[in-house]
């Protein structure tokens, strides 16, 4: 259950209709029936939206997503129309706002995994499968899979975990043709992205895409290949058999699980505010992810 310590009130902007408050993003619709996606500086960890924001996180991850959309444009079209600020929007939305085509969304979280961890590991430990796909014996937390797999999930209610489903269940829900196109495109995009990341010393362990259709064409939507939608691991610290250090969340996880926080992440109490040092280190990690992946300086 992803909880908010304090659920944010959406900002009212003339001409925009607020549609949804996500864990770390807001969704609006404009007068031209386009979507306006605004990335906040909120961060989630241990199924909570933390009370402390991470400076510049929303802007860094939006610019990273735009860079990935560009890297992938030959594989799949995307939903971004522009990054122009809607009239009357707050100035601090600059750089973290995407104006997007409104699509007929496929109600499936299109997940690709190249490594075994998280919910996939949990299923594997019971059944030696993930989403019903048989995997070899002997795999452990962080193991590289023999080949990347498509492991779809159904979108959970706000605050709940997505539920892994089989490919056959996806085909039952959206039809065989859409299921096949979803799997093929997800694995092609993951394959390209994992190579780009690996060339930069970063393992893209897994990632979640959202797709929609526009006039019969499959379109890549949402945000893509950010540390919020993906697991990024520093390649030089990869060691199967244990939980891998997260590229962006490790400082926060380490502090929240240390005696210094006075918090039990398995309990019901909301998490405490983060110390300034942890905030600064985490903000720097998002900038580092941007600079290493894009090979551009974050100015």
Ligand X SMILES: N#Cc1c(N)ncnc1-c1cnn(Cc2cccc(F)c2)c1
Q: Which residues contribute to the site for ligand X (CB under 6 A)?
A: 20, 22, 25-27, 35, 37, 79, 100-103, 105, 210, 212, 221-222
> What is the number of residues in the chain?
299
Smallest gap from residue 146 Cβ to ligand X (A): 32
Indicate left, alpha or beta for 195 from its phi (over 0: left) and psi (-120 to 50: alpha). Answer: alpha
Residue 102 or residue 192: which is nearer to ligand X going by CB? 102
Smallest gap from residue 43 Cβ to ligand X (A): 15
Virtual torsion, Cα 264, 268, 270, 276, nearest 10 deg: 10
Would the CA dihedral through 176, 150, 75, 248 be positive or negative?
positive
Residue 25 or residue 57: which is nearer to ligand X going by CB? 25
- Report how far apart the first and last C-alpha atoms of the chain are (Å, whole number): 36
E runs forming strands in 136-199: 144-150, 153-154, 163-164
Residue 24 or residue 116: which is nearer to ligand X going by CB? 24
Residue 179 or residue 219: which is nearer to ligand X going by CB? 219
Q: Which residue is nearest to ligand X (CB)?
A: 22
Smallest gap from residue 125 Cβ to ligand X (A): 30
What single-letter DSSP state applies at residue 272? P
Smallest gap from residue 58 Cβ to ligand X (A): 11
- The residue among 79, 180, 78, 164 whose CA lies nearest residue 120 is 164
Smallest gap from residue 276 Cβ to ligand X (A): 28
């Amino acid at each position: 259950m992803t909880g908010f310590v304090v659920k944010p009130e959406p900002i009212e902007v003339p001409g925009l209709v607020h549609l949804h408050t996500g864990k770390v993003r807001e969704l609006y619709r404009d007068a031209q029936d386009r979507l306006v996606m605004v990335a906040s500086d909120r961060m989630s960890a241990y199924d909570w939206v933390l009370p402390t924001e991470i400076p510049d996180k929303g802007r860094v991850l939006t610019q990273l997503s735009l860079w990935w959309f560009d890297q992938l444009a030959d594989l799949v079209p995307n939903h971004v129309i522009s990054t122009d600020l809607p009239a009357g929007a707050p100035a601090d939305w600059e750089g973290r706002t995407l104006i997007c085509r409104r699509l007929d969304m496929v109600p499936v979280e299109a997940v690709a995994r190249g490594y075994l961890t998280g919910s996939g590991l949990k299923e594997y430990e019971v059944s030696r499968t993930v989403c019903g796909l048989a995997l070899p014996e002997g795999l452990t937390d962080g193991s590289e899979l023999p080949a990347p797999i498509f492991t779809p999930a159904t979108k959970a209610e706000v605050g709940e975990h997505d539920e892994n489903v089989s490919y056959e269940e996806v085909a039952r829900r959206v039809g065989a043709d859409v299921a096949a196109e979803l799997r093929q495109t997800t694995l092609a995009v993951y394959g390209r992205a994992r190579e780009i990341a690996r060339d930069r010393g970063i393992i893209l362990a897994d990632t979640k895409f959202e797709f929609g259709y526009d006039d019969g064409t499959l379109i890549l939507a949402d945000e893509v290949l950010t540390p919020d939608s993906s697991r990024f691991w520093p390649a030089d610290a990869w060691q199967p058999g244990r939980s891998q250090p997260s590229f962006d969340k490790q400082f926060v996880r380490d502090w929240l699980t240390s005696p210094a926080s006075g918090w039990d992440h398995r309990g019901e109490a909301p998490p405490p505010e983060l110390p300034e040092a942890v905030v600064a280190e985490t903000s720097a990690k998002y900038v580092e992810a941007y600079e290493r992946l894009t090979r551009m300086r974050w100015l």
